[in-house]
Structure 1
């Protein structure tokens, strides 16, 4: 008889009962990021309807909207030439009356090696298209986690990544999250960074050609039409469960849209 307890991570209490909206840094406003922003809008509206303080999102992306972005990403022809982050945030703010922020720059240290003050957030979500950017984010989050008595203390990192037909979503904690005593479950306080647990896999999976596409048809050769959408729905469901259920026994999943297969990753 197997008496081993199920391993569970309980959500940090601050996310469940905040006095102010939970700060979220969303990094990347392309095929996945533009759709994740819509999902965050839905999470925010649902949380506030349940009496929660909701979310305060800051979107980071220095790219300009081109015709190649239309169709697969959440942009329209009238928005070409605008910054992706500005177009999306303006749309959300007009839609639901929020005061979310756009940063038309990369999420990185400045020329003096300093971390921008705006990089501090309770939740960081990455939807970036290269491995080096992930390692840069990891370096910043580690540095921020060492700061004490600072508002918006970093708690979680949710990373989205994909190739043409496959992808993964992985949840990490930024440091240890205090866990309650439990007789039913084996609680897990720390979930490793994606760059630590799957760093070698990420390096192997990085596409050799990261040059911008000149058309939607060319862009679809790199990423199929619905890979970003399917990753977004499942990945943001993981985030929603942290708020709604207050716990998770999964820290992510691997997804193959071509074969219609998804493999969950249990907390170990």
Structure 2
């Protein structure tokens, strides 16, 4: 009897041996996004040490730092009143000598329905609060992928983070099909669906949380526990790092429950 092959996804070749830094759009600079940015910095420094060209990150967020953000998000008292994206990117650039970019605005089409040129990136990572924002990102990635004149930074992967007070998930998707090699040992999977396709109905049904900004850290902690964002950020960054380091993965994310310390991997199917 022939054993069933394990489903895996082989990382797109461009990510493994690029001639330029891999472009990354990180959307959202709050509790999760600010921690993911630190993870991307660590990935970048490690890739550079291994002879890779590293990452070129652009952080999108139209919010400013408030006192409610201190402690749970990666901000400090001296940054209150600054744009979140600018505060974080300036800190990263000063610490590492990088030239990452900050966008103090939402990741969305302009009023004429056009996609901003700077929104094109090889990897998109969303750390957003609303279902509407996720569907907006899906629409932009689909439109860019459908354009005939493909550019070097054409989108290939979308990683989405989402969480409630004590639980969360991170899900990796491909933007279209990624060319896969033949394998006698594994079953290569070229396409992983968008979170909006796979869980769209569930997302729409569950959008009932009050996203009113908190006035204090104490109020913010009633909405999201202290370490849910950080622990979830580490899970997703580990998945991304594995794709760079090992060139393949049999996982496309996980469901994470911090309250009882359980994490359930999402296998590629």
- TM-score range with shorter-chain normalisation? over 0.9
Q: State how far apart, in whole Å, the 1-side matches of 2:209 and 2:96 are.
A: 40
Map 1:201-216 onto structure 2 (within 5 A). Answer: 201-216=202-217
SS of alignment partner, residue 182 of structure 1: coil
Q: State how far apart, in whole Å, the 2-side matches of 1:236 and 1:207 are.
A: 28
Map 1:256-267 onto structure 2 (within 5 A). Answer: 256-267=257-268
Query: Does residue 124 in structure 1 map to residue 153 in structure 2?
Result: no
Deviation at 1:2, TM superposition (A): 6.0
Q: State how far apart, in whole Å, the 1-side matches of 2:110 and 2:212 are.
A: 24
Unaligned runs of 5+ in 2: none
- TM-score scaled to structure 2, two decimals? 0.98
Map 1:87-236 onto structure 2 (within 5 A). Answer: 87-147=87-147, 148-236=149-237
State the Cα deviation string for residues 30-52 of structure 1 (Å, max 9, x = none).
Answer: 00000000000000000000000
Q: State how far apart, in whole Å, the 1-side matches of 2:268 and 2:74 are.
A: 33
State the Cα deviation string for residues 69-98 of structure 1 (Å, max 9, x = none).
Answer: 000000000000000000000000000000
Deviates more, 1:200-209 or 1:102-111: 200-209
State the Cα deviation string for residues 189-217 of structure 1 (Å, max 9, x = none).
Answer: 00000000011222233343110000000
Q: State how far apart, in whole Å, the 1-side matches of 2:2 and 2:69 are.
A: 51
Structure 1 pair 207–71 and aligned structure 2 pair: CA distance change class (3 A): farther
RMSD between aligned alpha carbons? 0.8
Deviation at 1:151, TM superposition (A): 2.4
State the Cα deviation string for residues 135-157 of structure 1 (Å, max 9, x = none).
Answer: 00000000010123312010000
Match of 2:84 in 1: 84
State the Cα deviation string for residues 131-176 of structure 1 (Å, max 9, x = none).
Answer: 1100000000000101233120100000000000000000000010
Q: State how far apart, in whole Å, the 2-side matches of 1:213 and 1:184 are.
A: 51
Q: State how far apart, in whole Å, the 1-side matches of 2:205 and 2:163 are.
A: 13
Aligned residues: 268
Q: State how far apart, in whole Å, the 2-side matches of 1:49 and 1:107 are.
A: 31
SS of alignment partner, residue 19 of structure 2: coil
Q: State how far apart, in whole Å, the 1-side matches of 2:236 and 2:69 are.
A: 22
Deviation at 1:60, TM superposition (A): 0.1
Unaligned runs of 5+ in 1: none
Match of 1:246 in 2: 247
Deviates more, 1:103-112 or 1:194-203: 194-203
Q: State how far apart, in whole Å, the 2-side matches of 1:146 and 1:67 are.
A: 42
- TM-score scaled to structure 1, two decimals? 0.99
Q: State how far apart, in whole Å, the 2-side matches of 1:253 and 1:34 are.
A: 20
Match of 2:52 in 1: 52
Deviation at 1:259, TM superposition (A): 1.4
